[in-house]
Amino acid sequence: MQKYRISINDLPPDGKEFDLDDQAIWQTPMREFEMDCRISSPLSAHISVLPAEGGCLVRGELRGQVVLPCNRCAEDAVTDIRSSFEEFEELPDEEDPDAGLNAHAGNGAPDPAAETESRIIYERNTPMLDLAAVCWEEFMLALPVNPLCKTDCKGLCAQCGANLNNDDCGCIPDEGDPRLAVLRGLTLHKT
């Protein structure tokens, strides 16, 4: 997102703070990557950027709430997003001006690959930090690996697919010894 690019050269020596709460920062890539995720409480980021030798120090916090599919039963898993981050953003090699040019060629449709490569992009020889990319990447890192609707979600019945949190489907759990299961499938031939 071009409008959230800030020039690193224009930062005051003691840094600058930014508050970002445009939901499109997160919603646009979610749609682009067809993520099964919706924002249930607006996401917001507070970011401070401090210029430093060879790049800048990016510190911030991300807050909000999203709904993901539960890993066990696929029902809504409401997930609070609360993360703090601190990262050093290194200036990309200036001898590689193509990196910047590619990133903003074809203004309309952003190329997700180009956006994620570096958060600092050169625009007319000016290093620009992409705050939207920071917000998006920190959001991705803040997502749980194993979202659950509740910690003791019982999941789905392996036999009939019923959601075991709602009702007992009555299937008899197949708790046999796997070695016996093999034997059950054997046809015995008398010799």
Among 141, 169, 181, 182, binds Zn ion (CB under 5 A): 169
* Residue 7 contacts Zn ion per CB under 5 A: no
Per-position x/- string for 58-97, each x denoting binding to Zn ion as judged by CB under 5 A, each - no binding: ------------x-xx------------------------
Considering beta carbons, is residue 27 or 40 the nearer one to Zn ion? 40
End-to-end Cα spacing for the chain: 75
Residues 22-41 touching Zn ion, rule: CB under 5 A, are none
> How many of the chain's residues bind Zn ion (CB under 5 A)?
11
Tell me the residue type at 30: M
> What whole-number distance in Å separates Cα of residue 92 and Cα of residue 95?
9
The conformation of residue 38, written as its DSSP 8-state character, comes to E
Considering beta carbons, is residue 56 or 68 the nearer one to Zn ion? 68
Cβ 62 to Zn ion shortest distance, Å: 24
Distances (CA, A) of 56 to 16, 69, 75, 175, 191: 11, 36, 41, 57, 80
Cβ 163 to Zn ion shortest distance, Å: 8
Cβ 77 to Zn ion shortest distance, Å: 7
- How many C-beta atoms surround the C-beta of residue 107 within 10 A? 7
Considering beta carbons, is residue 82 or 150 the nearer one to Zn ion? 150
Residues 133-152 touching Zn ion, rule: CB under 5 A, are 149
With b for 16 or more beta-carbon neighbours within 10 A and e for fewer, the 86-100 pattern comes to eeebebbeeeeeebb
For 9, the token pair is 């050269």
Three-state secondary structure along 62-110? Answer: EEEEEEEECCCCCCEEEEEEEEEEEEEEECCCCCCCHHHHHHCCCCCCC
Cβ 80 to Zn ion shortest distance, Å: 16
Write out the residues near Zn ion by the rule CB under 5 A.
70, 72-73, 149, 153, 157, 159-160, 162, 169, 171
